[in-house]
A and B are shown apart, each in its own frame.
Chain A
Amino acid sequence: ETGVTQSPTHLIKTRGQQVTLRCSSQSGHNTVSWYQQALGQGPQFIFQYYREEENGRGNFPPRFSGLQFPNYSSELNVNALELDDSALYLCASRTGGMGYGYTFGSGTRLTVV
């Protein structure tokens, strides 16, 4: 059903470690966003990239960083992991402007212990 693929599906890391989450979007989807979803909550916007440039950022510290590549793939990097970073991380992409809906990946479930 979705044209956005995220990896890995699940991940367990230790507090203080670094993690890289990956997303592969559909061809032509030049806008990609990342969201953090805590259990029982709605997704929270982390940042957005358009044609490999960051063009929006939510209320997340600088240890959350990202990259978007020309092949429509992207990464979310989190340094110095904290217990509160445990969540479902969702990648979403779209083609066209803000008048279009997003296609979401199935997410990466990150657990920090």
Chain B
Amino acid sequence: SQQGEEDPQALSIQEGENATMNCSYKTSINNLQWYRQNSGRGLVHLILIRSNEREKHSGRLRVTLDTSKKSSSLLITASRAADTASYFCATVPYGNNRLAFGKGNQVVVIP
């Protein structure tokens, strides 16, 4: 069953603006990962944050994790048209070895 729940579901922004997506989950986790998917094809791993980490950066990406609220956020700074995609959060539940995906967040960056 889906564990992650992203909010908002769809986001439309101008190029250069920042995009923020949120994800909530229900159970204890080992780590949380964010993936990008273009046009219904394969997913690309963006960033992984462990349960004992609170914030992580990778290029223009910033991920936060609040295990007390069971939530995470993904911030894309200075967005580009090429960032147009669906973004999924996925948890690795504690004691489990699978990815549990949310429903995804569609982001459209207008040039």
Contacts and interface: CB of A to CB of B under 8 A. Distances in A.
Nearest to B101: A42
Given A41-B103, A48-B97, A98-B30, A107 B2 contact: no
B102 A42 contact: yes
Q: Max chain B CB contacts within 10 Å: which of A43, A48, A99?
A: A43
B51 to A, nearest CB: 10
A2 B36 CA distance: 13
Interface residues of B, number: 27
- Which range holds the interface residue count of chain A? 20 to 34
Interface of B: 1-2, 4, 30-31, 33, 35, 40-45, 48, 50, 88, 90, 92, 96-104
Interface of A: 1-2, 4, 6, 33, 35, 37, 39-45, 48, 55-56, 58-59, 88, 90, 92, 98-107
